[in-house]
Amino acid sequence: MRNRRLLLGAAAALAALQLSCAAGVGLTPLRESEPAARAGLRPEYRLFYDALGDYGDWILIEPYGYVFRPVVNPLVFRPYQDGFWVPSDVYGWVWISAEPFGWATYHYGQWLFDRFQGWVWIPGIEWAPAWVSWEYTDDYIGWAPRLAPGSAPGAIPGGPFVWVPMGELPATDLKTRVRTAPQLAERLGAPKPIENLAERDGVRFNRGPELGLIERAAGPLSRVKIEDVVPPSPPGLRAPREPAPGIGAREPARPPDLIEQTRRAAEEAARAARALAATKSPAPATLPVIRPVGPAPSRPAPKREPPAGKSAPADSTK
């Protein structure tokens, strides 16, 4: 009995010593530590980790670091397939995803096709209507995700591009219509690239095919207005554009409910997109866009009227 009491006392003393040492050097017990994947991401990317956790895994692929692998059927999944395109005056063609992770993976960052892991997404902070390459022929229009350096396009089943007849690009049930180049064979012809570049809020992106080109095949198109449902963080809470990377770097402060707000909005937007596709209904006049990361979209400056009794200054450039 005496020996047992001595052993219990020694174990308690050792546990107390370990906790004391941990407190002395500022360590956190393992069960409360941050996951390695989250800690390994740049601070401004950690919102993606928190918001996308239910839809995939974060895995380490060097030299890219931690990347997001969605939980999907790897035999049929490819980016920019489950959703549809809508035309807009401001951004050209905007991708509307039917996947709850699509608000992030199709508007930020870039995709990588890894021979072992399949499709994975590398996060970024610049928002665009889509990060894709466009091509066209006389009868077809095609697009492919903007691939990260080191991707293996030749290993992608069917190639990186998917295609639809030009008049079908505005269809909301696009997933049932797309084909790969091998499926079209000689009907496809020789594709030509589309470089319709534009810049907004300091970000350069490809607007895609001219709306007039598609209208000649599909008929008149109604321009869609996109509307933020999760606006970017206010300036005081936003991450700097090029923050210091690395584990231990300071994470930008964010509104406490931003993650849950983003998840709810993403689920609702994906459900609405799936409903449109199921009924083959046209896109509504306004569609939600979820962009909680990065600079707020710029808005035109209000017109300044000259003070009463004074005329506006002459334009010195004339």
| Strand, helix or coil for residue 198 | strand
Contact 286, 225 (CB under 8 A): yes
pLDDT tens column, 57-100:
999 999 999 999 999 999 999 999 999 999 999 999 999 999 99
CA distance 94 to 191: 22
Of 274, 296, 286, nearest in space to 86 by CA: 286
Residues contacting 12, CB < 8 A, separation 6+ = none
What is the C-alpha separation between 316 and 309, in angstroms, rounded? 21
Lowest-confidence segment of 6-20, 89-103, 177-191, 226-240 by average pLDDT: 6-20
Distance of alpha carbon 94 from alpha carbon 261, whole angstroms: 22
| Spatial CB neighbours of 185, under 8 Å, sequence gap ≥ 6 | none
Distance, in Å, from the CA atom of 160 to the CA atom of 178, rounded to the nearest integer, reads 12
CB-facing half-sphere around the CA of 223: CA atoms within 13 A:
9
Distance between first and last Cα of the chain: 102
Name the pLDDT band for 233 (thresholds 50, 70, 90).
low
pLDDT confidence of residue 268: 97
Q: What is the pTM of this model?
A: 0.80
d(CA 140, CA 137): 5
β-pairing verdict for 286-290 and 132-136: unpaired
Integer Cα distance of 127 and 132 in angstroms: 13
Q: Can you tell me the distance from the alpha carbon of 284 to that of 278, in angstroms, rounded to the nearest whole number?
A: 15
| Position with higher pLDDT, 182 vs 250 | 182
Cα(146)–Cα(173) distance, integer angstroms: 23
Helix (H, G, I), strand (E, B), or coil: what is residue 47? helix
Q: Please determine, for residue 198, whether its predicted confidence score (pLDDT) is greater than 70.
A: yes
pLDDT in tens, 282-300: 999 999 999 998 765 554 4
Q: What are the helix (H) ranges across 88-225?
A: 102-105, 181-184, 211-218
